[in-house]
């Protein structure tokens, strides 16, 4: 049975809060979102029929700054999932110490069964339905599962048409031509690479000898895999929703990249390279030093945790490890770099994009990556040192740091009125 994601997020919050001994008047505020919006999204499909989709936007906390979080298109989107993701965004922004709160959005649909024009019409209608709570100082969306720079461009254009002025800063993750930041597309995967290499160094493991498994060869997973390979690591297995491939001697990533660049829906399905096929579940328990779950939530369950062989897990996805699995992995001595640190590179560079849009002054790629490296390295060191000092695992340490920062901001602002 699939875990309820919001219950899972609250359980993680509870563990951190108990160790922090939070103010009893502050803690209840942190356990629920500030605002939840569920909207009806009617769309005229290409055949003339009207289909009504359900959309959500949840603003979990604006205590430390405007709410920030992606929008996903997926058949399994639920309000509880969006609430959990918004909570995680809140702690994530606090962990890397950028001035954002947390939000998330989603539409329950199957984008692979929709034409580009249907997706565009759905995006524009969803945007208008949630527009009353959006704004560059209020709530700034970004891409997430099955959304991209093109979708962000449609959102930006829709808001601009309604307000009568070009609003570049209303979303991040846009194309460069529409005010996007250089390095934004690679940022989450680059952040995964940075914290993975930092962890290998802390564990006295040579990156040149390290073997890597990536579950979820999409934007985050593929970029992390290729950057780690450039740093000497050997990627032995990759997968996506269509299945995966394994070669103990290392995969030919150049060949795989060329294949998925032209394959249907850019998936691995049908790849004929020098590798044996594996399922998305099998890939998690293959022999390797580092496992990067970069697909969806709830991938590492109790059963997987018992059989997993990796020494390090870098959570490229949000919520890929269940709380029950977490306990097993800790008992087994597996180092888990939590999602709220590991995949924060995306929101950090979204912050850079937002700043560039507001100032109408754009940075070169070296400046973007230099600042990303600085923030990710500093955040990793803070979480690692804090966790060692408090004698807790990295997830609990990251949560304690993030939650404490949000709680302090809430306490200092006071409760209105």
Residue 407 lies in a domain: no
Identify whether 338 is part of a domain: yes
Q: Which residues are CB-neighbours of 381 under 8 A, at least 6 positions away?
A: 198
pLDDT score, position 1: 38
CA nearest to 393, candidates 403, 379, 383, 402: 383
Q: What is the pLDDT of residue 3?
A: 62
Structure tokens at 384: 């690692």
DSSP-assigned letters across all residues of 136-188:
TTTEEEEE-TT--HHHHHHHHHHHHHHHTS--GGG-SS--GGGTPPTTHHHHH
Domain shared by 306 and 224, yes or no:
yes
Domain of residue 216, CATH code: 3.40.50.720
73 with 156, same domain? yes
Residue 225 lies in a domain: yes
Query: Is residue 129 domain-resident?
Result: yes
pLDDT confidence of residue 166: 95
Structural domain tally of the chain?
Answer: 2
Q: What is the DSSP string of 87-99?
A: HHHHHHHHHTT-S
What's the confidence (pLDDT) of residue 280? 86
Question: Which of 118, 141, 168 represents a domain boundary (last residue)?
Answer: 168
Report the run of H or E that residue 57 belongs to, with start and end: strand 50-61
61 and 189 belong to one structural domain = no
Q: Does 410 fall in a domain?
A: no
Is residue 295 one of the residues assigned to a domain? yes
Same domain, 161 and 255: no
Determine which one of 68, 83, 104, 234 is catalytic: 104
CB 299, CB 320: distance < 8 Å: yes
Q: Which two tokens stand for residue 415?
A: 């409760």
Weakly modelled stretches of the chain, pLDDT under 50: 1
Range(s) of the domain holding residue 337: 185-342
> Is 104 among the residues known to form the active site?
yes
Which of 342, 357, 385 represents a domain boundary (last residue)? 342
Q: What is d(CA 416, CA 57) in angstroms, rounded to the nearest whole number?
A: 23
């Amino acid at each position: 049975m699939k875990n309820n994601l919001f219950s899972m997020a609250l359980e993680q919050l509870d563990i951190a809060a108990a160790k922090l001994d939070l103010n009893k008047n502050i803690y209840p505020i942190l356990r629920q979102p500030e605002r939840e919006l569920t909207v009806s999204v009617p769309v005229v499909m290409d055949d003339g029929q009207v289909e009504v989709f359900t959309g959500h936007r949840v603003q979990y906390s604006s205590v430390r700054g405007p709410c920030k979080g992606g929008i996903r298109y997926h058949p399994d989107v639920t309000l509880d999932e969006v609430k959990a993701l918004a909570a995680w965004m809140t702690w994530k922004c606090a962990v890397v110490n950028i001035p954002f709160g947390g939000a998330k959005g989603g539409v329950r649909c199957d984008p692979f069964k929709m034409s580009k024009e249907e997706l565009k019409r759905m995006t524009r209608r969803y945007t208008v339905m949630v527009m009353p709570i959006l704004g560059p100082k209020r709530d700034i969306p970004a891409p997430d599962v099955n959304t991209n720079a093109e979708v962000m461009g449609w959102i930006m254009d829709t808001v601009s048409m309604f307000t009568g002025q070009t609003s570049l800063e209303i979303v991040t993750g846009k194309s460069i031509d529409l005010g996007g930041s250089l390095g934004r597309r690679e940022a989450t995967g680059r952040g995964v690479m940075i914290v993975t290499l930092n962890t290998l160094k802390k564990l006295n493991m040579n990156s040149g000898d390290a073997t890597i498994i990536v579950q979820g060869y999409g934007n985050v997973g593929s970029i992390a895999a290729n950057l780690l390979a450039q740093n000497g690591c050997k990627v032995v297995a990759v997968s996506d929703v269509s299945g995966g491939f394994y070669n103990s001697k290392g995969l030919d990533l150049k060949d795989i990249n060329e294949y998925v660049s032209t394959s249907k829906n850019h998936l691995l399905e049908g790849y004929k390279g020098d590798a044996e096929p594996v399922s998305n579940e099998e890939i998690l328990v293959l022999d390797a030093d580092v496992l990067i779950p970069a697909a969806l939530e709830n991938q590492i369950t109790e059963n997987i945790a018992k059989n997993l062989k990796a020494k390090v897990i870098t959570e490229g996805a949000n919520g890929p490890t269940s709380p029950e699995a977490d306990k097993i992995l800790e008992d087994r001595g597996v180092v888990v770099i939590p999602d709220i640190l590991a995949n924060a590179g995306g929101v950090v560079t979204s912050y850079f994009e937002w700043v560039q849009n507001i100032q109408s002054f754009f940075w070169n790629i070296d400046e973007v990556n230099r600042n990303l490296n600085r923030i990710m390295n500093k955040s990793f060191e803070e979480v690692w040192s804090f966790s060692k000092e408090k004698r807790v695992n990295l997830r609990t340490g990251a949560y304690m740091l993030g939650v404490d920062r949000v709680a302090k901001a809430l306490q200092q602002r006071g409760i209105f009125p």
